[in-house]
Every structure is written in structure tokens, then in C-alpha cells.
Amino acid sequence: MAGMTKSALLSALAEKTGLAKKDVIGLMDTIVELAYKEVKKSGVFIVPGIGKLVKVRRAARVGRNPATGETIQIPAKTVVKFRVAKAAKEAVL
């Protein structure tokens, strides 16, 4: 099951909205840039009806090297997760 490529998404949006593909590319780039800045600043970026990007702090933990079985210390770090909106889950399932 192949997903929609970025190029196909941009073409579909341009066709549906009647905007030029160049304008759609600019809009998408602006949304992505805004999402990165907002998550970095406030820790959350919501895309209504789809979900939200959330900045989460992971605690340090002990893990195992799968090749040797040796225990290793994994340091704490900050990661970005995407949480799917309830409406999106219901629409897809």
C-alpha cells in the first residue's frame, strides 16, 4: 500500500483549490516552518482535524545492545511525537 508522494499531494491540493502549484508549495513550506517554530517555542502545534505535534521529554533509561546483550545507559532527550486526532481515527477506521 503506497502512500501519496509530496508531489502528488501538492498537485492534488492545487487542483482542488484552484491555486497555482507554486502557491501551494509556498503555503505548505510556510505551514511546516510555522509548525517547527511553534513546537520548539510552546511544545505543541495543532493541525485541526488531523492531530498535533507534541514535544516530549524522555527520561534516561537502561537498554540493551542487541548484538552483545550488554546493558547500556540511554541518556534523557527531547523528542517530537505526533498524536492523531479522534476525528481522524474515526474517519479512517
Give the domain ranges of the chain: 1-42, 43-93
CA distances from 78 to 38, 54, 63 (A): 15, 10, 17
25 confidence band (pLDDT: 50, 70, 90): very high
Residue 52 · residue 43 · CB < 8 Å: no
Instruction: Tell me the pTM.
Output: 0.78
CATH number of 43-93: 4.10.520.10
Q: pLDDT value at position 1?
A: 66
Size of the chain in residues? 93
Closest by Cα among 60, 62, 82 to 72: 62
Conformational region of residue 8, where left means phi above 0, alpha means psi within -120 to 50, and beta covers everything else = alpha
pLDDT tens by residue, 39-84: 999 999 999 999 999 999 999 999 999 999 999 999 999 999 999 9
